[in-house]
A = this chain, B = another copy of it.
Amino acid sequence: MSPMGHCDINTTLERAGLSKTSQRVAVLTALVHAESPLSAREILQRVSGKGRINKVTVYRILASFKAGSIIREIATDHGENFFEMACRHNPTHPHFYCRACRSLSCLPSAGHQDRWLQEYRAADESIETVAINFTGLCRRCRNEIARDPAGPLQGPSGGKRSSP
């Protein structure tokens, strides 16, 4: 989907002033190769195979990456946040969040987003980021509901946790 895998791991870490540890390389690699934004949990899963790494370390690495503007964080209802590369190959764009399966996907850029950021920044220099988030049901969940309207996936409202 997104033109990923372009960013060099070493260069990226260097430019952010971060030393090259195996854990940071692993997390960054996972993010660079991700087809869509990843949650901390997903990152931990993908990285656990290669070498020993801890949940806490993942969170700390993500915090340092965000501090170095290597990645962006995308908030969702439900508390679980997602992370994606913030390199020039991946300009800011809207996201779509499925309230049923709680997956996040990227939408084509509306083009306005960075322009807005500039405009609003001029008006009030404290603004640092813009996020445009769409919510609804992804195709798969919509079909699932059509098949079983009484299932665990309710209408545009419903409970928060989908799994018991």
Contact = CB atoms under 8 A, between A and B. Distances in A.
Contact of A157 (B63, B75, B78, B107): B63
Nearest to A132: B132
Q: How many copies does the complex hold?
A: 2
Interface string A49-80: 00000000000000100111000010111110
Contact of A110 (B96, B116, B129, B156): B116
Interface in A67-99: 67-68, 73, 75-79, 81, 96, 98-99
B128 A156 contact: yes
A127 interface: yes
Interface stretch (A2-10, A21-29, A31-39, A137-145): A137-145
5 contacts: A75-B76, A99-B128, A126-B136, A130-B133, A131-B131
